[in-house]
Amino acid sequence: MSPSEELQQTRIPLNTGAEMMPAIGFGTLIPDPAKAKQAVKTALKVGYRQFDTAELYRNETIVGEALSESFDEGVLRREELFLVAKLWNNNHRPERLRRAFEASLQRLRVDYVDAYLIHTPFAFPPTDEQHPKDENNQPVYDDGITLEETWRAMEALVDEGRVGVIGLSDIKLDRLKQIVATARIKPSIVQIEAHPYLPEWEMLEFCKEHGIVLQAFAALGHAMEPRLLDDPVIVAIAARLGKTPAQVALAWAVQRGTAFLTTSVTPQRIAENFDISPLPTEAMTEMRERLARIVRYNQVVETGVPGFVPPPR
Ligand SMILES: NC(=O)c1ccc[n+]([C@@H]2O[C@H](COP(=O)([O-])OP(=O)(O)OC[C@H]3O[C@@H](n4cnc5c(N)ncnc54)[C@H](OP(=O)(O)O)[C@@H]3O)[C@@H](O)[C@H]2O)c1
């Protein structure tokens, strides 16, 4: 295998020892159903094997169609896919969690998922309203359930063999430490915003100590201002190596030991984001030392409410 192929095929060990997680991932936060389906099918053909889904995205059915058509067309087999699903905030109570999990499997047309994550640590009231708001337009929380209780319901899914591994998302380091300290089954994956403008080194170090995979979302900065892909340091490294700024940011993500998620509805970009090559050590050092700016694009870790609205596609 060439060094580029090796990087593209990187699989990160999970702390259960059972399976490895492909580092390169594709996210399904694509509101337009036809574009979502086409993007997932294209990504599977290009070679992505890690896919992120969520009940919140309200497109599991369309993703499920894309997956099952791809299995039928012989693009890949189910066991070659690492499929992640996520539980939304209004389903944190154990009886609702169980139903939400079964419903996601049904919509995705699979009988197991490789990973099931709690989408955010914030519980919303146990109703079908995904974004409950009070009269001041502020999120309403459910104080009748703790994250620890929800975690125990997640552990039960593992006990029953319904899911490979479990994890958390949009969580801060202090809260993650509390869950790791008290959990019977430790989290295997933590999905958070991370990119060269928000490297989360301390979180990454903690994750590595505990064998937790850091799965970075918005790995390209979600195409928002300030535009990560226009950063002069990244642009200069890309020009030197004959790669694109996106390929530099994504190679950086894998080389520092994270898995990543990108999303695109553009076939050429879907291919570009998979076609990464190793960065020389000096480029990795330059990115660590010269990109001092910290930008958080998504405020979801503060409220549980997604903080950026996808641009029109
Ligand atoms: N846990 C959470 O709370 C959470 C929050 C947000 C996202 N996520 C997950 O993470 C996934 C990825 O997040 P994201 O959408 O923010 O990822 P992203 O890859 O940082 O941003 C996607 C945007 O970048 C553009 N883009 C993609 N490749 C490009 C390239 N090579 N050059 C220039 N622009 C490019 C896309 O445009 P086009 O589509 O127009 O090509 C799209 O507008 C989501 O789909 C979702 O699964 C999780």
pLDDT band of 313, cuts 50, 70, 90: very low
Give the Å distance between the CA of 22 and the centre of ligand 1. Answer: 18
CB 263 less than 6 A from any atom of ligand 1: yes
Instruction: Please compute the mean of the pLDDT values over residues 226-255 and round it to a whole number.
Output: 97
- Report the distance separating Cα 209 and Cα 119, nearest Å: 23
At 234-247, the pLDDT tens digits run: 999 999 999 999 99
Give pTM, 2 decimals: 0.97
**Candidate from 38, 46, 217 with most ligand 1 atoms within 8 A of CB, to mutate:** 217
Q: Please confirm, yes or no, whether 57 is among the known catalytic residues.
A: yes
Q: Give the helix, strand, coil percentages of the chain, each rounded to 5.
A: 45, 15, 40
Domain boundaries, given as residue ranges, for the chain: 3-294
Cβ neighbourhood burial of 201 (10 Å; 0-12, 13-18, 19+): exposed
Question: Active site residue: 48, 57, 197, 297, which one?
Answer: 57
pLDDT band of 307, cuts 50, 70, 90: confident
At 3-34, the pLDDT tens digits run: 999 999 999 999 999 889 999 999 999 999 99
At 53-85, the pLDDT tens digits run: 999 999 999 999 999 999 999 999 999 999 999
CB 222 less than 6 A from any atom of ligand 1: yes
Res 143 pLDDT > 60: yes
Span 3-294 CATH architecture:
Alpha-Beta Barrel (3.20)
Q: Alpha helices of the chain — where are they, by DSSP H?
A: 3-8, 33-46, 60-72, 94-108, 147-159, 173-182, 201-209, 232-241, 245-255, 267-274, 281-290, 300-303
pLDDT given at position 308: 66
The number of beta carbons lying within 10 Å of the beta carbon of residue 133 is 11
